[in-house]
Amino acid sequence: MSFALSLTKVVADQQKEENRRAEVAKAWEVHEASLLESAVETFQKHCTKAAEAQKPEVTVSFEALTKEIPEFPKRILDDAFYYVDKWTGGVTAESWFYSNNGTGVSYTGTPILFAELLERMLAQFLKKVQSLGFSSCQREEGTWKVTVLWGMPDSDELPSRGARKRSFPVQLKYVMLEAQEEKRQRAKSAKAWELHEATLLDRAVEVFRKRCTQAAESQKSQTTVSFEVLSRDLKAFPTRILTDSTYYVDTWAEGVTAESWFYACRGTDLGYTGSPILFAEMLDRMLTKFMCKVETLGFSSCQREVGTWKVTAVWGMPEKDQRPLKFLLERGGAFAAQLQNVILEKQTEQRQREELASVWKVQESLLLDRALELFQKDCTRAAERKKDQATVSFETLSRGILGFPIRTLRDGTYYVDQWSQGTTAESWFYGNKGIKLGYDGSPILFAEMLDRMFAKFMEKSQALGFSSCKREAGTWKVTAVWSTPEKHEQASKRAGDMPEDETSTKRARKATRAGGA
């Protein structure tokens, strides 16, 4: 073969090799175009998220963006440099080399620098992003970061919805407007819960104050209340339901929804997915606000018990010689100070009740002594008639006692009508039922008064030394037995005989004297 022919063959072979290289390069170009489309789509998603967050611009790193693209070539670190490790989409390092360096130079197998691959793609990526119509699109010098600006929306200047389909930045402005409207709706929904929550918290504080007042009335200087238990007494408080061992909110008040609670407590940025609300989480969030309100009431200590919904408030006992200050209650002084006043008022009230009770007890003691005297007389008369026992009705006996309360019949029931001088139904009430409960003015049952007095009368009668002294069941009658004379007692004792009737009388008198009559 002549030299000329050999040169022709070299040219042909070289042309053939370059054609092959061009085909190999084309594989990368097709794949690169697909990668760039994916990158632009991903970039648009970042822009949309920023617009939803009411931002007029966004900065995205192209290098970070590529990590979100599954088909993008992978990198590997080797001697402080990142190289392309794995190619995707059927392409090779050779494909990339010939596509970016031309087909005239042969690829020697040298690994491709990842930074070079990014750099060459970023230039094309920027062109595509700039074509989207942003008011500004720039690369941050020395980085792979790209910043685009689309500006804040102006509803008066925005084009029609048909026009926005042709401009991505305009779409972003519409996204911002829609997000603003969505946020307004979420805020409106949140407001419904906030208003309802404020009402519930006010009610909770009011119930808590009542619990504190009840404790103060019982002469206590502190109280512990469970917010969860307290919430059960609140009208329109959300109810709970047990599902898979966990309590969730079951029903909300009218005009309030789980969505309202979600946006009020977690903000309006994230959309509500419809998940049920944990009852414990709702209580916890409310308890924090409840504590803030309770702490303003002036307690010396107000703390939450760790790991519970219990709140302990301490207001302390008043000074020993301190007197109640009514103006605190009347003019709305500090609630804790009011509670100390309640304690003082209650102490004063209880002293007054004790005084009233003692009036009755003194009068009752006098009446019982008079009743016992009459009873002893009845026993003596029975003994004089040669009887060894006597049965007396306490109710009948009471009619002959000076100063004994008088009864009146009303609707088939006897009530105390008139009390003796210095005593009242109130003094009887505190004398018999204690001073803790207040007297409400109800009339006193005559039978109840008799029963209580009769029990004490029986104790006094039984102390007289009778061989038997019993109450007849279901009545106010008492039977006293003082003994049966022995047959041989009719015989003479000591020097002479003693008449039988005299013996019985003396025995009865002896029995009554044993009680101090």
Q: Is pLDDT above 90 for 427? A: yes
- Segment 348-370 shows an average pLDDT of 93
Instruction: Name residues whose C-beta falls within 8 Å of residue 468's C-beta, 6 or more positions apart in sequence.
Output: 389, 479, 480, 481
- Cα separation, 146 vs 121, whole angstroms: 13
Q: Are 215 and 223 in contact (CB under 8 A)?
A: yes
- pLDDT surpasses 50 at 204: yes
Residue type, 517: A
**What's the CA gap between 212 and 208, in Å, rounded?**
6
pLDDT at 242 over 60: yes
Q: Estimate the crossing angle of helix 114-130 against helix 3-52, to 10 degrees.
A: 60
Structure tokens at 125: 């990526």
What whole-number distance in Å separates Cα of residue 306 and Cα of residue 425? Answer: 49
- Tell me the three state secondary structure of residue 154: coil
Phi first, then psi: what are they for 316, rounded to 5°? 80, 160
* Rounded CA separation 444/460 (Å): 24
Residue that wins the pLDDT comparison between 338 and 40: 40
Q: What pLDDT does 159 receive?
A: 57
Q: Which residues contact 197 (CB under 8 A, 6 or more apart)?
A: 264, 286, 289
Strand partners, 312: 224, 303
The label of the residue with tokens 């605190």 reads 328
Number of other residues whose CB lies within 10 A of the CB of residue 406: 12
Buried b (16+ CB within 10 A) or exposed e, 300-314: eebebeeeebbbebb
Backbone angles phi, psi at 467, to 5 degrees: -70, -25
Q: Which two tokens stand for residue 261?
A: 């609670």
What confidence tens digit (pLDDT) does each residue in 131-188 have?
999 999 999 999 999 999 999 987 665 656 665 566 899 999 999 999 889 999 999 9
pLDDT for 420 equals: 86
Q: Which two tokens stand for residue 245?
A: 């061992």
Q: What average pLDDT does this structure show over 31-52?
A: 95
Q: Would you list the DSSP string of 437-489?
A: SPP--PPPBHHHHHHHHHHHHHHHHHTT--SEEEEPTTSSEEEEE-----GGG
When the pLDDT of each residue in the chain is averaged and rounded to a whole number, the result is 88
What confidence score (pLDDT) does residue 332 get? Answer: 44
Q: How many CB atoms lie within 10 A of CB 343?
A: 22
| Predicted pLDDT of residue 422 | 87
Q: Report the distance separating Cα 499 and Cα 511, nearest Å.
A: 19
The tokens describing 85, both together, are 């490790």
pLDDT for the residue 494: 45
Residue 409 neighbours by CB distance under 10 Å? 10
Cβ contact 247:255 at 8 Å:
no
**pLDDT digit string, tens, across residues 78-130:** 999 999 999 988 899 999 999 999 888 889 999 999 999 999 999 999 999 99
Q: Residue 226: enclosing H or E segment and its boundaries?
A: strand 222-226
CA torsion 200-206-207-210 (nearest 10°) is 180
Percent of the chain with pLDDT over 90: 72
Q: Give the per-residue pLDDT at 483.
A: 78
- The DSSP 8-state label assigned to residue 490 in this structure reads G
| Element housing 311 (H / E) | strand 310-314
Provide the CB-side half-sphere exposure for 436 (13 A, CA). 6
CA 128, CA 76: separation in Å to the nearest integer?
Answer: 28
Burial of 400 (0-12, 13-18, 19+ CB in 10 A): exposed
Are 444 and 377 within 8 A, CB to CB?
no
Distance, in Å, from the CA atom of 204 to the CA atom of 492, rounded to the nearest integer, reads 89
DSSP 387: -
Q: Which position has the token pair 């002959």?
A: 400
The single residue listed with the structure tokens 């103006």 is 327
**Alpha carbon distances (Å) from 377 to 26, 110, 332, 363, 505:** 137, 136, 63, 21, 11
- In sequence order, which residues have a C-beta less than 8 Å from that of residue 275 and are 6 or more positions away? none
- pLDDT at residue 318 in the model: 84
Helix (H) or strand (E) holding 426: helix 425-433
pLDDT given for residue 333 in this prediction: 52
- For 389-420, the pLDDT digits (tens) are 999 999 999 999 999 999 999 999 999 999 98
